Amino acid sequence: SFNIVAKFLGLNMADVLVVGGGGREHAIAVKLRDSPKVKHVFCAPGNGGTMAEENMTNLTVSDGDVEGLVKAAQDHKVSLVFVGPEAPLCAGLADACAAVGVPCF
């Protein structure tokens, strides 16, 4: 269920950053993109499948680059960072996002 995502996105359409490049992250990105609350999904780094999707953009940021991911979230003014792999979380991505006021799930 994506009810928790709806809590972060509020009433307006929003942009979301999905971190990761596997099939699981592709599926998550598609489900988020299909939400009426989501305007655009950025994927870092994404994959060939996410590159071909409408309203989805791959970013040239590694899922291990915490500073780069936070900068991408800020540059693209995303309302939520959704992290698939564990490694970015272990590297402190959620804390780094919280420090700049971007919700991370």
The whole-model pTM stands at 0.90
Can you tell me the mean pLDDT for 58-70?
97
Predicted confidence (pLDDT) at residue 100 exceeds the cutoff of 60: yes
E-assigned strands of the chain?
14-20, 38-45, 56-58, 80-83
Region of residue 10 (left: phi > 0; alpha: psi -120 to 50; beta: else): left
Report which of 62, 52, 50 is spatially closest to residue 19, judged by C-alpha positions. 62
pLDDT of residue 80: 95
